Structure 1
Amino acid sequence: MKTYAGTADKTESESGSMIKTLKRMLSYLTYYRYRLIYALILMLGFSIAMGLLPTLMGTATDIITQKQSIADLQKVFLLFILDAVALLICGHFSQKLLSDISQDALYNLRNDLFTHLQILSLGFFDRQPIGELMSRISNDTDVIDQFFSNGIQQVLQSLTTITVLTVVMLIINPFLALLVYLAVFCIIWISTTIARVSGPAFEHMQEQLGEMNGYAEEHLAGQKVAIAYRQEQSSVSAFSVLSAHVARTGGRAEFVALTSMPAATIMANLQMIILLIVGGAMIIHGNITLGELVAFLGLSSSISSPLSQIFSSYAVIMNASAGAVRVFKILDEKPVVADKPEAGPMPSITGDVRFDNVDFAYVPGRTILRNNTFNALPGQIFGLCGPTGAGKSTIINILTRYYDIMSGSITVDGTSIDSVKQDSLRSQIAQVLQEPFLFSGTIMENLRYAREGATDDECISAATKAGAYEFIMAQPECFDTFLSDGGANLSQGQRQMLTIARAMVAHPRLLILDEATSNVDTRTEKIIQNGLLHLQEGKTSFIIAHRLSTIRHADCILVINQGEIIEQGTHDELMKKEGFYYNLFMSQFRGKLSIITGIS
């Protein structure tokens, strides 16, 4: 008994959840309520015209069987023509209006989704594979598009038609109308049962589709690695398994949903047979005329068609509901790092950065940084070094407030960074990362990306200081050269020069460098280092160093190990201590020495 009760509760919960999801989807349509009202009025006109056709046919039948005048038959024929014109006009314009509303609604949904993604904290993207997110933006919105473009139009028109035809049937003969609706209720019961099964199946299918797309995105991005380690066949096999899961789940979902159509057809035919038998008996007993039976047969046939359309739309509705659940899950996600209600803009930064007993954890209970304290004065260069995973990048992530700290305080020029708006803080910080990233677009557009309103002269000046001007002018279209796929048509060093120039265009007050020269050749490194010197002028700079030679000139070096700053000072001071930094530096130096001398 417990098992059945639990299952019933779960089914009821899923049903309620689906209704809420459908209401939320429909809210995107009802935003255009006035145009929607016009469309519904036209649909009502279409439905009334549909109801008139069988009644005119019944009237014509009575005129013929009762041998009335040709003039009466001609009037009915004229009404047929007028009714057909009304059907055409109302049908065309209602569908045109609904189509426009659907596309506008989908436009708003996609915009809401992409806009919301822009305000979510970095931690959200750490948890979500890019392929999974792309699946929600593309596949899930596509199935919602099917609902907006086809499903909702069919359902609204069908519901309007059913309502009008029901009224007409009740006016003609309530008893025959009751017979028709006995079959209708059977169809509704069958379809409701099918919906309870197919709904969760479609949701499961969308989840598996997201996993499959995530896998494809990751392995296509790492195709070079797959080729290098001869894992192409392994990748194909794993993808095939995921694809098979999607196919099987989708096949079950579609099969269950599509059984509603033949079930509705069987019940519609049974309904016609019952009407013929009962209606024939009523004609024999003189209760109705042949024309009324003909009209009723036409009306029952007309009501079966929209019913079939509604139930054939179940697959679209269930699929859209499953996709919408995943889309709305993102829209309901709250930024973990949020501006306080009273937060104001960050004043112009001079560069006094202070960490005071800062603790931080990405996941509650697993502290990454502990008791970190330091003070960088305006214009100073701070180097951050330590083993992989020590917490160097984490210190930068909390300085830029990608994440909020657990305890302690971080201030810039005496202002706590959690008391100001995030964008006003980040607008004064520039970063040059180890892996340069450029957007598809022209070189000039990529440079101007750092600061809205930057002039061409400012961008050209920045490119010159960064050492990029020469290679830019050698490109086919100079600064208007189009960069495809993140700058794939440039070398690693050229892309890095552009990111340095882009950082200059930002006019930052704080600068963060994450081993910006580690992936380039010696000649290019010298050019980039010269560009970095221009970029660092007058700015407080933080340099994450993997090669310690790049921070020997720093005003202060923070040595980080297991989330704690264990040493700090200049290169010479730290070397004299012969502590952790000394051993780290000498291990790198000995490595180079052994290569040169052949001594190990």
Structure 2
Amino acid sequence: MKEKKRVTHAKGTLRAIARLLRSHRLVLTIALLVSFAGVVVNTVAPLLLGYATDLIVAGVAGQATPAGLTKAEALDQLRAEGRTTLASVYSTVDFLPGHGIDFAAVASVLVTVVALYAGGSAANFAQERIAANVVQAVARDVRRRVEEKLAKLPLGYFDGQPRGELLGRVTNDVDNMQQVLQQTLSQLVTAVLYATGLTAVMFVISPPLAALLLVSLPVCAVIAAKLSGRARPRFAEQWAATGALATHVEDMYSGHTLVRVFGRQTLSEAEFDKHNKTTYESGRAASFLSATVEPALIFVSNLNYVAVAVVGVLRVSTGALSIGEVQAFLQYANQFSNQAGQIGSVVGRFQSGLASAERVFDFLDADEQSADPAHPVTPGNVAGQVEFQDVGFRYTPDRPLIEGFSLSVRPGTTVAIVGPTGAGKTTLGNLLMRFYEPDSGRILLDGTDIATMSREDLRSRTGLVLQDTWLFEGTVAENIAYGRPGVTREKIVAAAKAMRVDHFVRTLPHGYDTVLDEAAGISAGEKQLITVARAFLASPAVLILDEATSSVDTRSELLVQKAMAELRRGRTSFVIAHRLSTIRDADLILVMDQGRIVEQGTHDELLAVDGAYAHLYTSQFVSTLRL
């Protein structure tokens, strides 16, 4: 049953590849015509070589028979002398007794053959060039679709995918798909055309020999189907293992300091060896199975070729075929065997590309986030009034996280959200940004249901500062201006000054034009200040600060807190924090547990209640004193 599903998946992948090629059908048609011309030229050439051989045989026969006789008389004389076989061979050519080889005619034929082979090579070159252009265009289209897909996928998809696996699908698998198509597309078309043309010509020369040669085709088809069918899942395992290996390497590289600090090098190497062994074993099995297709087909074809050669010689001896015809037929038979092997090789190699294509199209077929409304609502100036109305949400259907959550936040209010891990704090920010959609209830921004707004419009009015400081390898100015492309340098500097970034930026080698890479020497606190300046320059109406100071040192935390205090001024802010000392001045503190608000109030009010917040605060305060 599993095998049937896999085959169906393969057929669907082939149809998807065909749809990609369909947009280039005009160019592919030209390539097909050029390839057909090359096949015709290269198919005619052996016939002419066979004709040249017959001219030589006719000259030899003419020299061996007395002048003045007709062809029939010369053949009767040979039979009367007991040389029946020779008479049968000479009967297949048109000779004139007493006349030798017509070297001018032979030379003319050979020149024509050389010209035909030159034309065939030119056609093959043109066809390969066109096919290469088409494959590159297809790869470009796939990469564009991958990029567009990344923008349409919900956050949950990325949360559920290992980074190396995802990167493997959008890089390695796309590249492998391109390379395999490059290697196999033109070869497969040419091989099929050649096989078809050769079959037609061989039936014209000798239907019995052609039928004998085709006896091996069903055997070759079964061998190719069995071996390639077993190779494809192995290639899929290989690319999946490659993704797992990439994930492990990336984790070990990004966390190499911790790996060394905790002495986990040996375990890390053992894990690497495990992934590497899996990749090796699946790759070895896949390569072996795909590589055996061509030699297996060539072996069967060569056995058939021997049978054809023997029967062909016997037919020459009986006068049914000329030596030139048998020579041409054997050339065709040899080419046919080569084309059969070529098709087998292409089919074997194609399995790797097909496995990668399956993984790429699985990614492209992944469920996308819900579409924006056809006519989205665009609020005017947003003051920052946020309302959660009976919101319910769950990451998995059987595990509710947030149920019946309601909250109304006035514009300009700072709301701190605290609670144990898994309480749903970050989820509220994700729902407000529409990274996830609520299962029930509504979220309003200045009275407008955010589900009726476009995501781009909503997020342009919402700022987000995370615990992980994401900076790309660009200049400081480019990183600050990431949310406001085209903004002037003056506004970038003004934002940097407001967020206490300007001072340390000016100490960098190239100031705002310093490229942020490993050599820049930027501390974690300074990186976080740059992200705060980025949010400040974007000037959002609503701000979400998710553990924005938890990964910096105490001194940097004070600087970041001062910058964020300035950033929050006049904006509705949601501060998610574990360090309760950082949210004492919040206008409202929500204590969440299992997706519900269990306490709310100001810092002093919650301490006076002596409930969950007070216990959390006291435990942190005591822990700090002990340290």
Tell me which interval the TM-score lies in, with the shorter structure as reference length. over 0.9
Q: Hey, what does 1:367 align to over in structure 2?
A: 400
Q: 1:259 aligns with which of 273, 279, 292?
A: 292
Distance in 1 of aligned mates of 2:623 and 2:295: 76
Distance in 1 of aligned mates of 2:452 and 2:565: 32
Contact (CA 8 Å) 2:127, 2:186: kept in 1 or not? no
Instruction: Give the secondary-structure state (helix, strand or coil) at the position aligned to 1:66.
Output: helix
Distance in 2 of aligned mates of 1:382 and 1:163: 75
Task: Confirm or deny that 1:311 pairs with 2:369.
Answer: no
After superposition, the C-alpha distances for 1:371-405 in whole angstroms (9 at most, x for unaligned) are 32221111111111122222211111111111111
Q: Hey, what does 1:3 align to over in structure 2?
A: none
In the TM superposition, what are the counterparts of 1:174-213 in structure 2 within 5 Å? 174-213=207-246
Task: Confirm or deny that 1:42 pairs with 2:34.
Answer: yes
Q: CA deviation at 1:12?
A: 4.2
Q: Hey, what does 1:32 align to over in structure 2?
A: 24
Q: 2:549 aligns with which of 498, 504, 517?
A: 517
Q: TM-score, normalised by structure 2?
A: 0.90
Distance in 2 of aligned mates of 1:196 and 1:522: 61
Instruction: Give the secondary-structure state (helix, strand or coil) at the position aligned to 2:173.
Output: helix
Gap change, CA 1:292 and 1:392, over 3 Å in 2: same
Q: 1:287 aligns with which of 311, 315, 320?
A: 320
In the TM superposition, what are the counterparts of 1:96-245 in structure 2 within 5 Å? 96-245=129-278
After superposition, the C-alpha distances for 1:36-82 in whole angstroms (9 at most, x for unaligned) are 11111111111112102211110110010011522211210221121
Contact (CA 8 Å) 1:360, 1:367: kept in 2 or not? yes
Q: Identity of counterpart residues, as a percentage? A: 33
Task: Confirm or deny that 1:66 pairs with 2:58.
Answer: yes
Q: 1:503 aligns with which of 532, 535, 552?
A: 535
Distance in 1 of aligned mates of 2:12 and 2:404: 47
Give the unaligned 5+ runs of structure 2.
Answer: 60-100
Q: CA deviation at 1:220?
A: 2.6
Q: Hey, what does 1:53 align to over in structure 2?
A: 45
Instruction: Give the secondary-structure state (helix, strand or coil) at the position aligned to 2:559.
Output: helix
Instruction: Give the secondary-structure state (helix, strand or coil) at the position aligned to 1:77.
Output: helix
Distance in 1 of aligned mates of 2:520 and 2:514: 12
Distance in 2 of aligned mates of 1:13 and 1:535: 55
Contact (CA 8 Å) 1:350, 1:378: kept in 2 or not? yes
Distance in 2 of aligned mates of 1:268 and 1:447: 67
Q: 2:431 aligns with which of 398, 402, 409?
A: 398
Q: Hey, what does 1:538 align to over in structure 2?
A: 570
* Amino acid in the other structure paired with 2:606: L
Q: CA deviation at 1:121?
A: 0.5
Contact (CA 8 Å) 1:103, 1:148: kept in 2 or not? no
Contact (CA 8 Å) 1:545, 1:551: kept in 2 or not? yes
Instruction: Give the secondary-structure state (helix, strand or coil) at the position aligned to 1:388.
Output: coil
Q: Hey, what does 2:66 align to over in structure 1?
A: none
Q: Hey, what does 2:510 align to over in structure 1?
A: 477
Comparing 344-353 and 44-53, the one that deviates more: 344-353
Contact (CA 8 Å) 2:561, 2:582: kept in 1 or not? no
Count residues in correspondence.
586
Q: CA deviation at 1:197?
A: 2.1
Q: CA deviation at 1:569?
A: 1.6
After superposition, the C-alpha distances for 1:410-469 in whole angstroms (9 at most, x for unaligned) are 111111111211121111111111221101111122122112332222212111111111
Distance in 2 of aligned mates of 1:528 and 1:212: 37
Contact (CA 8 Å) 2:235, 2:286: kept in 1 or not? yes
Q: Hey, what does 2:7 align to over in structure 1?
A: 15
Gap change, CA 1:101 and 1:297, over 3 Å in 2: same
Contact (CA 8 Å) 1:379, 1:540: kept in 2 or not? yes
Contact (CA 8 Å) 1:351, 1:378: kept in 2 or not? yes
Runs of 4+ in 1 over 4 A off after TM superposition: none
Comparing 499-508 and 181-190, the one that deviates more: 181-190
Instruction: Give the secondary-structure state (helix, strand or coil) at the position aligned to 2:215.
Output: helix
Contact (CA 8 Å) 1:513, 1:542: kept in 2 or not? yes
Q: CA deviation at 1:296?
A: 0.5
Contact (CA 8 Å) 1:337, 1:403: kept in 2 or not? no
Contact (CA 8 Å) 1:357, 1:407: kept in 2 or not? yes
Distance in 2 of aligned mates of 1:334 and 1:205: 25
In the TM superposition, what are the counterparts of 1:333-482 in structure 2 within 5 Å? 333-482=366-515
After superposition, the C-alpha distances for 1:486-543 in whole angstroms (9 at most, x for unaligned) are x973111110111011111212111111232333334433332332233222211111
Q: CA deviation at 1:19?
A: 2.5
Gap change, CA 1:16 and 1:524, over 3 Å in 2: closer
Q: Hey, what does 1:552 align to over in structure 2?
A: 584
Task: Confirm or deny that 1:583 pairs with 2:615.
Answer: yes
Q: 2:594 aligns with which of 562, 567, 573?
A: 562
Q: CA deviation at 1:254?
A: 1.9
Give the unaligned 5+ runs of structure 1.
Answer: 1-5, 596-600
Q: CA deviation at 1:202?
A: 2.2
Distance in 2 of aligned mates of 1:215 and 1:566: 40
Structure number with greater Rg is 2
Contact (CA 8 Å) 1:135, 1:214: kept in 2 or not? no
Distance in 2 of aligned mates of 1:268 and 1:190: 12
Instruction: Give the secondary-structure state (helix, strand or coil) at the position aligned to 1:227.
Output: helix
Distance in 2 of aligned mates of 1:49 and 1:317: 28
Distance in 2 of aligned mates of 1:557 and 1:323: 50
Distance in 2 of aligned mates of 1:379 and 1:489: 36
Q: CA deviation at 1:352?
A: 0.4
Q: CA deviation at 1:593?
A: 4.1
Q: CA deviation at 1:336?
A: 4.1
Q: CA deviation at 1:331?
A: 0.5
Instruction: Give the secondary-structure state (helix, strand or coil) at the position aligned to 1:405.
Output: coil
Gap change, CA 1:403 and 1:13, over 3 Å in 2: closer
Gap change, CA 1:410 and 1:13, over 3 Å in 2: closer
Gap change, CA 1:519 and 1:243, over 3 Å in 2: closer
Distance in 2 of aligned mates of 1:336 and 1:187: 47
Contact (CA 8 Å) 1:346, 1:421: kept in 2 or not? no
Gap change, CA 1:570 and 1:501, over 3 Å in 2: same
Comparing 513-522 and 395-404, the one that deviates more: 513-522
* Amino acid in the other structure paired with 1:554: A
Instruction: Give the secondary-structure state (helix, strand or coil) at the position aligned to 2:214.
Output: helix
* Amino acid in the other structure paired with 1:513: L
